Amino acid sequence: MWYEQPATRWVEALPVGNGLVGAMIFGGVKEDLIQLNETTLWSGGPVKTNVNPGASAHLPAIRKALLQDNDLSKADSLVKKMQGYFTESFLPMGDLLIKQDFEKGEPTNYYRAYQFQDHVTLPGRPSRLYSQYQ
């Protein structure tokens, strides 16, 4: 995936993380917003770690409802049997705003990319990897 402009909404930002700490990189050049998250920041309180041990038993029926029967309503009701006590939401840890001043001029040939094969995000990188100036 690659884009020729920075993200303006969260769903356009590029994800990075290691399973514990994550971020969404908006990819600005002069000013870049990186929204941070961490696994222990979520809505709710401590719960048992395995609140629905039988959840995986419902997966074959869900697949059948979706792939063979094309019954979205049935699949939707079955999916609810896989959930735990609560479906909690992660909360943002904070925003990191990086501002840069380019003394030699304005960067050109902007693009940002996510390389799936390498799991690498290249945010706000004009040209290939380095800034170019007019």
Q: What is the pLDDT along the chain (134 residues), one digit of tens a residue?
A: 778 889 999 989 988 888 788 899 898 888 999 999 887 777 766 666 777 889 999 999 999 999 999 999 999 999 999 987 665 666 788 999 999 888 888 878 888 877 766 655 555 544 333 333 33
For the chain, what are the domain ranges? 1-43+89-134, 48-85
Spatial strand order of the sheet with 120-122 comes to 2-3, 112-115, 120-122
Which residues contact residue 116 at a Cβ distance below 8 angstroms, ignoring those fewer than 6 apart? 1
Task: List, in sequence order, the alpha helices (H) in the chain.
Answer: 59-63, 72-79
Phi, psi of 64 (to 5 degrees): -65, -45
Count Cβ atoms below 10 Å from residue 107 Cβ, excluding itself.
19
* pLDDT above 70 coverage of the chain, percent: 76
CA 100 remoteness from chain centre = 24
pLDDT at 109: 81
Sign of CA dihedral 51, 56, 61, 64: positive
pTM: 0.57
